[in-house]
Amino acid sequence: MKPSAAQAFTFKDWQFNVASGELCLHYQDAQFGPFTERLIFPQVTQQRVDALGQQLQKAIDCLHWMAGVSYYKTSLARRINFTGVRPDLAQARWLEQTWQAGLAELAHTNQLGWLGDIRFNGEFAEPLARSLELAPRSLVAIGGGKDSLVSIEHLKTVGESFQLFVVGQSAFIEEVAATTGQPLYRVERYLDPRLGEANDQGAYNGHVPVTAINGCVAVVAALLGDFDAVVFSNERSADEGNLRAENGQWVNHQYSKSFAYEISWQNIVQTSLASDLRCFSLLRPFSELAIVKQFARYPRYFPVFSSCNRNFHLAGSQNQGHHWCGSCPKCAFVFLALAPFISQQELLGIFQRNLLEDEALNELYAALLDLAGIKPFECVGEARECRVAMHLLASHPDWQAHPRVRDWLIQIGNVPEHWQQALMQVSERHQIPARRGFREVLKHAVD
């Protein structure tokens, strides 16, 4: 199936039921028919909705548009129509850039090339953002992995008032959240079940920019719940792509976690929604390896955290009785990245087996170390980070004599000393606000 110029994807309307907190987002695809996505926000009051007025409507518009990517991808229609509100010019550029980059992996796997024909017909409009006098507290996204837990501990240190934030119905994330001692703000999200039917009928299926969607959900939640900051935990390593498309653009699995996306979304928030709302990553100044080293300071989270995506499936967790599958790119990467900073006994306690000894993972580790193949389409660190981690094992008392470590070290050869120094340095490329001690995180640079 190829995208057809005759096909159209249409943004219909949306309805928000204040009494139930249910938001229904409606779409229409010319080939696969109507779709409706449902989200349920907790503890919504009519008084708050009235106070937010048009600003809440604008935030829901942005969510409506961004969430549509999950349904647009079914046919990748050449035309995009609106029966209701259209984006303004800046919003249209934001959507085009995000959909093109966020669907680049799907396009690559389907041999479609760069989706440069995605176009949103924006309208001229004056910026309407104003200060909403939001309360000085944060909504902190938690995914159950090491990164958000590091952010949470930093915010505790500076005395920030915050709640955790999650989209979906994951018992695993709720379990991890409970160990932090912080309240959890949960937004339920229900994809249209017809999406699965469309996939069975031959629709395009694959990666979408889910962090961008969650960021839009978080902004609506922040307005409804009265928070002036939305905090994510995306590291600077997310800027590295997986491969270049034929037009020279990078196909980056983590585009919606990148600094480029963060800047574009913050610009929309500031000019279109609320001038006193900040959306940023607290860990942007750090490499993945530096964050892992910081996480090693919190062993109480070792038994509960996980970065394995098999914990998150529409049908529930695919990991039975354990949070790590031990066979995916994220499991392999976290095992290697964490190994230099904790004891082997602690590491094996987390993963329940030695992944470096698993011959079935040899090809995967070769890709992570940039010895063969391409960087896996997953949220993993740079090849340079993996090589430095392996190099650090050469001086780790639990690993230095291990035959597999020695074998990998021979294959990767020399690892420049300045690589490790660069990875542990704090970057100045971030959007962390100077207010309320947020930048205290910068003092936690890893030596």
User: How large is the average pLDDT for residues 274-291?
Assistant: 97
In single-letter form, the type of residue at position 155 comes to L
Lowest mean pLDDT among 56-65, 116-125, 130-139, 145-154: 116-125
Comparing 34 with 6, the larger pLDDT belongs to 34
Q: Are strands 250-251 and 162-167 parallel, antiparallel or unpaired?
A: unpaired
CATH class in words for 8-126+133-281: alpha beta
* Closest of 72, 163, 132 to residue 269, by C-alpha: 132
Quick one: pLDDT at residue 317? Answer: 46
Q: Are 107 and 247 in contact (CB under 8 A)?
A: no
Q: Convert the pLDDT of each residue in 178-227 to its tens digit.
A: 999 999 999 999 999 999 999 999 999 999 999 999 999 999 999 999 99
Site of tokens 């790119």: 329
Q: How many helices (H) and strands (E) does the chain have?
A: 17, 11
Lowest mean pLDDT among 60-74, 85-99, 115-129, 228-242: 115-129
User: In whole numbers, what is the pLDDT of the chain averaged over residues?
Assistant: 94
For the chain, the C-alpha Rg in angstroms (whole number) is 22
Q: Convert the pLDDT of each residue in 418-436 to its tens digit.
A: 999 999 999 999 999 998 8
Q: Convert the pLDDT of each residue in 309-349 to its tens digit.
A: 886 554 444 545 668 999 999 999 999 999 999 999 999 99
Both tokens of 95, joined, read 């959507």
The answer, yes or no, to whether residue 129 has pLDDT greater than 90, is no
Phi then psi for residue 187, to 5 deg, are -105, 120
- Other Cβ atoms less than 10 A from the Cβ of 121: the count is 12
Name the residue ranges covered by the structural domains of the chain.
8-126+133-281, 290-309+319-424
Compute CA distances 291 → 159, 260, 328, 442, whole Å.
Answer: 20, 20, 20, 12
Is the model's pTM score more than 0.75? yes
Cα–chain-centroid distance for residue 132? 27
Phi then psi for residue 281, to 5 deg, are -100, 125
The Cα–Cα gap between 216 and 59 comes to 7
Instruction: Quote the percentage of the chain above a pLDDT of 90.
Output: 90
Q: Convert the pLDDT of each residue in 399-409 to its tens digit.
A: 999 999 999 99
